[in-house]
Amino acid sequence: MAFDYDLFVIGGGSGGVRAARIAAAEGGAKVGLAEEYRMGGTCVIRGCVPKKLMVFASSYPGAVAEARAYGWDVQLGAFDWAMFRTKLEAELTRLETAYRNNLLKAGVVIHDTRATLEDAHTVRLATGERFTAKHILIATGARPFVPEVEGMDLALTSNDMFKLDALPKRLLVVGGGYIASEFACIFNGLGVEVTQYYRGAQILRGFDDEARGHVADAMQARGIAIHCGTEVMAMERTADGICVRSTHGHDRTFDAVLYATGRVPNTEGLGLEDVGVTLGRNGQVVVDDYSQTSVPSIFAVGDVTDRINLTPVAIREGHAFADTMFNARPTMADHALVPSAVFTQPELGSVGLTEEAAREREPIEVYSAAFRPMKTLFAGQEDRVLMKLIVSQQTRKVLGCHIVAPEAGEMIQLAAVAIKMGATKEDFDRTVAVHPSMAEELVTMRQPVRKA
């Protein structure tokens, strides 16, 4: 059978774009790609990139305060949200254009519309066009989830936070994951009065307990009111804002309410189940180690599979798929020891096992140091950073590293290389410290603080 395309990709985010480009440019495949919104997906348009730029913007008040403590005669003026938002949109447009041009240079045919599955080898576009493909790749990502609650139509999601007409004076953030915590810190830094409600016992579930407790303490010290064990019962628009009734028994009024309570895979209405693709309980596409679904001609990568929902992982999965199918290099994406960073203030960088997970697996030693860093100590601030290593008692390998500090994301990337290579605690000990630096603590901790 002759197909219109060797590969048709549904979704123009990081994973789909990488797969399409490699299949076309390196594998010589005829590739079509459909994207219904903007090229670049969540990361470029409404996630990592705009969020990190907002993190940068929100950090300047603290930098100005530090500068004064160091003797600089500087004053903090007003933040021009409208100017920043305009410049932000221009940057996203630039990146979107770059993504599109790279696809076109590789020879990918772009369809700016929604695509759904008609059968195992056929996609139907919203324009009415139909195309056949030998292989189909689902890379539609995920979307914010807002639970059923009275007044839920009043809630904003992370998608909305980059397009606000003006900054709210009082913001409620509902949720305790990294997206919720990052936005709480961003808007706190921009001068907004921020409150955070989370139904669990501590924010940042899934990260190391000591590290996430350290972050929570730092956020509260910066003025963010965190209420754990709290759920929203109802929201109502009033003359003064949005009145929120919660389980802690107090009604509070806010100018805006951000729900960051998780994300769900974008599989609704794609026709996946109709053609026999197996979906998981959360709607995710179930795939094997080579990203193949229960239908041999259909594959899926990225957040839509709900494996590790990080942009670099989606890119690795997309590249591995293209190498496997079009470059004669069977490749499985490696999901072990994936580093991550939470861009709170301070940042949390993490790779490998948490203390809690490691001690369930084998006997461990824990090396941990919390201290006031030189830069802010001199400025008279009470900031504290945390450096933590989890070590196997038997093999001496470093099983996990957790850093809470400014620029922790930069530090954890380098620590992850050593840990991925199988570095032992003695390898860390043999490494000469860079002094004076925060990261030198990673190679100077000689005695474990506890064993488990």
- Give the residue numbers marked as catalytic: 435
With 0-12 / 13-18 / 19 or more C-beta atoms within 10 angstroms meaning exposed / middle / buried, residue 153 is exposed
* Phi and psi, residue 14, nearest 5°: -60, -45
DSSP of 311-358: HHHHHHHHHHHHHHHHSS-------SS--EEE-SSSEEEEEE--HHHH
Residue 277 token pair: 């693709």
Asked if residue 331 lies in contact with residue 172, where contact means CB atoms within 8 angstroms, the answer is no
- Calpha distance 407→349 (Å, rounded): 9
Query: If we measure between CA atoms, which residue out of 301, 9, 287, 270 comes closest to residue 117?
Result: 270
With 0-12 / 13-18 / 19 or more C-beta atoms within 10 angstroms meaning exposed / middle / buried, residue 403 is buried
Q: How many CB atoms neighbour CB 288 within 10 A?
A: 10
Asked if residue 196 lies in contact with residue 177, where contact means CB atoms within 8 angstroms, the answer is no
With 0-12 / 13-18 / 19 or more C-beta atoms within 10 angstroms meaning exposed / middle / buried, residue 13 is buried
Peptide bond into 346 cis (omega under 30): yes
- Calpha distance 272→285 (Å, rounded): 9
- Calpha distance 420→406 (Å, rounded): 23
Given the structure tokens 């809470």, which residue do they identify? 404
Q: What angle do CA 107, 111, 115 make, to 5 degrees?
A: 125
Q: How many CB atoms neighbour CB 81 within 10 A?
A: 16
Residue 386 CA neighbour count, 13 Å, CB half: 26
The DSSP bridge pattern shows strands 252-254 and 241-246 to be antiparallel
Helix (H, G, I), strand (E, B) or coil at 195: strand
Report the Cα 421 to chain-centroid distance in Å: 24
